[in-house]
A and B are shown apart, each in its own frame.
Chain A
Amino acid sequence: MKESDNEKAPFFKSWNSWYVLVIGFLFLLIILFYLITKRFA
Chain B
Amino acid sequence: MSLADWIVLVVTLLSIVAYGLYKSRTSRNLDGYFLSNRSMPWGLVLLSIMGTQASAITFLSAPGQAYTDGMRFVQYYFGIPLAMVVISIFFVPIFHRLRVYTAYEYLEQRFDGKTRTLTSLLFFLQRGLSTGISVFAPSIILSSLLGWDIIWTNLFMGGLLIIYTMSGGAKAVAYTQQIQLFIVFTGMFLAAYMVVKMLPADVGFADALQVGGKLGKLNIISTGFTEKGFNWSDQYNLLSGIIGGFFLALSYFGTDQSQVGRYLTAKSLKESRMGLLMNGIVKVPMQFLILLIGVLVFTFYQFNNAPIFFNEVQLKKLEASDYKDSLKIVQGHYAAVAVNKQQAVRDYTMARHDGEEDKETASLASLQSLQKESDSLRKKVVYWLNKKVPGGDGNDTNYIFLRFVVDHLPVGLVGLLIAIIFLASWGSIAAAINSLASCSMVDFHRRFTKKKDSGEDEYRLSKWYTLGWGVFCIIVAMFTYNIGNSLIEAVNILGSLFYGVILGVFLVAFFFKKITNSNPVFWGAILAQIMVLFVFILTKVGVFQMGFLWLNPIGAFGVVGFTLLLDQLFRRKLEARG
If the complex has contacts A34-B221, A40-B213, are A7 and B269 also in contact, measured as CB distance less than 8 A?
Answer: yes
A1-21 CB mask vs B (1 if < 8 Å, else 0) is 000001111100001001101
- Which residues of the partner chain B approach A10 to less than 8 Å between Cβ atoms? 270, 274
- Do A37 and B281 have beta carbons less than 8 Å apart? no
If the complex has contacts A33-B220, A37-B218, are A22 and B84 also in contact, measured as CB distance less than 8 A?
Answer: yes
- Do A19 and B88 have beta carbons less than 8 Å apart? yes
- Do A37 and B219 have beta carbons less than 8 Å apart? yes
- Do B269 and A6 have beta carbons less than 8 Å apart? yes
Q: Roughly how many angstroms separate A8 CA and B270 CA in the complex, as a whole number?
A: 7
- Do A23 and B82 have beta carbons less than 8 Å apart? yes
- Do A22 and B221 have beta carbons less than 8 Å apart? no
- Do A19 and B78 have beta carbons less than 8 Å apart? no
Q: Is the interface of A mostly helix, strand, loop or mixed?
A: helix
- Do A36 and B270 have beta carbons less than 8 Å apart? no
- Do B270 and A26 have beta carbons less than 8 Å apart? no
If the complex has contacts A22-B281, A33-B74, A37-B221, are A15 and B84 also in contact, measured as CB distance less than 8 A?
Answer: no
- Do A29 and B285 have beta carbons less than 8 Å apart? yes
- Which residues of the partner chain B approach A7 to less than 8 Å between Cβ atoms? 268-270
- Do B82 and A9 have beta carbons less than 8 Å apart? no
- Do B221 and A40 have beta carbons less than 8 Å apart? no
Chain B residue nearest in CB terms to A11:
B274
Q: Roughly how many angstroms separate A37 CA and B84 CA in the complex, as a whole number?
A: 26
Minimal beta-carbon separation of B99 from chain A (angstroms): 13
Q: Roughly how many angstroms separate A29 CA and B78 CA in the complex, as a whole number?
A: 10
- Which residues of the partner chain B approach A21 to less than 8 Å between Cβ atoms? 281
- Which residues of the partner chain B approach A22 to less than 8 Å between Cβ atoms? 81, 84-85, 277, 280-281
Chain A residue nearest in CB terms to B267:
A6
A-B residue pairs in contact (CB < 8 Å), sample of 15: A6-B270, A9-B270, A18-B273, A19-B85, A19-B277, A21-B281, A23-B82, A23-B85, A25-B81, A26-B280, A29-B285, A36-B220, A37-B222, A39-B213, A40-B213
Query: Which residues from chain A sit less than 8 Å from chain B, CB to CB?
Result: 6-10, 15, 18-19, 21-23, 25-26, 29-30, 33-34, 36-37, 39-41
| For the complex of A and B, 10 pairs with smallest distance between CB atoms | A40-B213, A6-B268, A33-B220, A26-B81, A40-B218, A22-B280, A19-B85, A37-B221, A34-B221, A37-B220
